[in-house]
Chain A
Amino acid sequence: MKHFFASLTAVTWKDLAVEWRSREMLSAMLIFALLVLFIFNFALELDAVTRANVTAGVLWVTFTFAGTLGLNRSMAMEKDRGCLDGLLLAPVDRVAIYCGKALANLLLMLVVAAIVLPVYSILYNINLFQPGLVLVIVLGSIGYTAVGTLLASMAVQARTRDILLPILLFPVVLPLLVAAVKSSSALLQGYPLGESSGWINLLIVYDLIFIAVSLMVFDYVIEE
């Protein structure tokens, strides 16, 4: 068990160190997220009345789109430079590799969220920093990166890998997005957290199911 966590943190640490030195994923995700926000601003005419209804949706679409960029890159990086073979040669549990990658992706998504939220707050002069919303974003990101890391590790091994990940991922994360948008929206309209407990439960169930499935099947993804 101790060995497992040591290899897990080693993989996460490796990913974060690479990212810290190149900053290619984070900068791409951030600029992309901000561009999506600006496009939404003009596409939806985000005046005060519209904003009240669509803020949650805009935020989650932004996170989802930016997230696919990061997930794709994080696995393609391993594949391109033969790093995956190196990782597989290392005498560690393969599930630890999955957990390490997923954890690094999760941290990256949370960093993007931590930058997008204040920017949105400043642009539209509303306060998005509520503990409830942070909880929803953390729960949503956990499920998203759990299933996203699994699907990305399959997508990068396919010929059509650049276009495949969103197609594989979006129909699978749809229930997660519905729950996340609905609970975020209720929180932003000033309802207490208990109001959306059904949605929060759905998020937790989703997270647990897909973490469990990913742990069970990841061995089969990278077995050669």
Chain B
Amino acid sequence: MGMFKRLPIGLLLLTILSVVLLIAALGTVFLYAPVEATMGLVQKVFYFHVAHAWAGMLSFIVAAITGAVYLKMRDLRWDVASLASVELGMVLMLIAIVSGSIWAHAAWNTWWTWDPRLTTVTIMELLYAAYLMLRQGIAEPERRARFGAIYVIVAVLTVPLTFFSIRFYRTIHPVIIGDSDPSAAGAFDMTPRMLHTFFFSLITFSVIFATLFWYRLRLGLLAKRVSEKRMELED
């Protein structure tokens, strides 16, 4: 257990909470929530699928906010935070896309459709991949942070515009929350137990997001310290 000794106590507690919540969430998805009448077991993908997409959106918003704070405060730690949440967001969104694809194959009989949500989320992955490429091309930390912050702000503004621009095309993605188009394939009404499970998954993945964010932030700050020490040695 030596690797846990140096962890801050808050992070250690958060890690334990995440594991407990994840096990409990799996329990509610498979034991508490009823099996959906028409789609059957595959509908259970929905709980974690939406939770991943939610946590992914959350991290991209955190990335934009921390980026803007960096531009104001000029403290490189905010840049580390911004990069950390972009990386996390990309992983979470990728999982959301893949899990959605698995569900879509069962419900729509296709792995992929050009639906607004799917397309927007995939464009987001490309946007943030471009962000990482921009950072890679700049060696000087202060300039890299500045340009990264600008791009992450531009990126977050294009997301709703992309979504609305593609929405004018007909969509078959079900809208579970909010007003649903009855013709959307794979739509269903949630029973109270499904609703409980759904919100429990959302909370679980918000906590998991916070935990992973803390780890990634800690790693980034340590890496920053290492590179600063190296600079000192070279001087």
A154, A157, A220 interface centre (most CB from chain B within 10 Å) = A154
Are A172 and B133 in touch, CB under 8 angstroms? Answer: no
Chain B nearest Cβ from A223, distance in angstroms: 8
A-B pairs, top 5 by smallest CB distance, nearest first, are A158-B137, A175-B165, A160-B137, A175-B161, A178-B165
Query: Whose C-beta in chain B lies nearest to the C-beta of A168?
Result: B130
Query: Does chain A have a CB within 8 A of B146?
Result: yes
Residues on the B chain within 8 Å of A213, using CB: 153-154, 157
Inter-chain contacts of A3 with B (CB < 8 A): none
- Among A106-114, A127-135, A202-210, the stretch that binds chain B is A202-210
Q: Does B166 lie within 8 Å of A178, measured CB to CB?
A: yes
> Quick check: is A171 within 8 A (CB to CB) of the other chain?
yes
Decide if B150 is an interface residue (CB 8 Å cutoff): yes
- Residue ranges of A at the interface with B (Cβ–Cβ < 8 Å): 147, 150-151, 154-155, 157-161, 164, 167-168, 171-172, 174-176, 178-179, 182, 198-199, 202, 205-206, 209-210, 213, 217, 220-221, 223-224
Contact A198 B168 (CB under 8 A): yes
Given known A198-B168, A209-B161, A220-B71, contact A161–B137 (CB-CB < 8 A): yes
Secondary structure of the B contact surface, majority rule = helix
With A and B bound together, what is the CA distance between A160 and B134 in angstroms? 8
Give the CA-CA distance A122 to B234 in the complex, in Å: 66
Q: Which of A154, A174, A209 contacts B147 (CB 8 A)?
A: A154
| Cβ < 8 Å to A, chain B residues 76-128 | 123, 126-127
Report yes or no: B133 in contact with A157, Cβ–Cβ below 8 A.
no
7 A-B pairs, CB-CB below 8 angstroms?
A: A150-B154, A157-B138, A157-B143, A157-B147, A167-B130, A172-B127, A224-B143
A168 to B133, CA, bound (A): 9
Docked Cα-Cα span, A216 to B190, in Å, equals: 44
Binary per-residue interface labels of chain B (144-155) against chain A in the complex, 1 for a CB within 8 Å, 0 otherwise: 001101110111
Give Cα distance in the complex from A182 to B168, angstroms.
10
